[in-house]
Amino acid sequence: MNTQELKERKVGDLVKENIKTAHVFKKYGIDFCCGGGISIQSACEKGNVAFDQLAADLIKLNEPVSKNENYDEWELDVLADYIVSTHHSYVSESIPLIMAYAQKVASVHGNAHQPVIEIFRLFDELAHELTSHMQKEELILFPYVRTLAEAKRNGTHTELPPFGSVQNPINMMEHEHDVAGGLLKDISEQSNGYTPPEWACNTFRALYAKLAEFEEDLHIHIHLENNILFPKAVAMEKDLTQS
């Protein structure tokens, strides 16, 4: 779809066709739920939003995403940086959006549909868990992984850090992955596998769609760490610290 066609499309119709467009409209403060009956161009004019920027984000939703990267061949510091720039950034950007959706849905529909109140509580707990978790990785674990990777490239010896073996923070990170996975499992159960009721409004549907997307991203995120980055960091440290 080109930008000219987008101008005349109604906001609500586009969200109905592709629920992920709701996240773009939310980003720009455009009401796609109750106020979705106007054209995208009119919505931009009403909200003082730059149409070209919004259109670019909408069009980007349909761009194919390559999933053929062989992460197992990447150097560890490159992989750590990728996890931060891709998955940590995604989590940080998505948390405020999902919290806003969840709070609104719980407030409006909580009395008629009790699970959304629990979903709001569970995601709030998950958000705090992941925020703290990512800070530990970015400030403690990943800098040391970069040190290991640099020493490996230079063929130099390295000393153990103040926290001891890299296995120590990894044990904590893996435990926190389990906690986050358990919270997401509970959210999935409460949402019937992210399946909204037939009567759900666009915000309700957007919440469940974003939660499903969030779960998919977190599974990839945890896989890259648990199954590739962490075991390789342990093995590399062992090689570099042997006397």
Q: State whether 50 and 81 are in the same domain.
A: no
Q: 97 and 171 share a domain?
A: yes
Is residue 7 domain-resident?
yes
Q: Is residue 109 part of a domain?
A: yes
Q: What is the largest CA-CA distance in the chain?
A: 70
Tens digit of pLDDT per residue, the chain (243 long)?
A: 678 888 999 998 888 888 889 889 988 999 887 777 899 999 999 999 999 999 999 988 877 655 557 888 999 999 999 999 999 999 999 999 999 999 999 999 999 999 999 999 999 999 999 999 999 999 999 999 999 999 999 888 777 888 889 999 999 999 999 999 999 999 999 999 999 999 999 999 999 999 999 999 999 999 999 999 999 999 999 988 874
Same domain, 45 and 82: no
My answer on whether 35 and 95 are in the same domain is: no
Structure tokens at 185: 């499992």
Residue 66 maps to a domain: no
Contact 138, 88 (CB under 8 A): yes
Cα gap 97→104, rounded to integer Å: 11
Q: Are residues 39 and 102 in the same domain?
A: no
Q: Are residues 53 and 170 in the same domain?
A: no
127-181 pLDDT tens trace: 999 999 999 999 999 999 999 999 999 888 777 888 889 999 999 999 999 999 9
* Residue 198 located in a structural domain: yes
In a domain, 65, yes or no: no
Q: Which domain holds residue 204?
A: 71-241
Q: Do residues 34 and 133 both lie within one domain?
A: no
Q: Are residues 141 and 205 in the same domain?
A: yes
**Does any domain span residue 75?**
yes
Q: Do 107 and 157 fall into the same domain? A: yes
Q: Which residues pair with 39 in a beta bridge?
A: 10
Q: Does 55 share its domain with 83? A: no
By C-alpha distance, which of 30, 38, 43 is closest to 13? 38
As for how many domains the chain has, the answer is 2
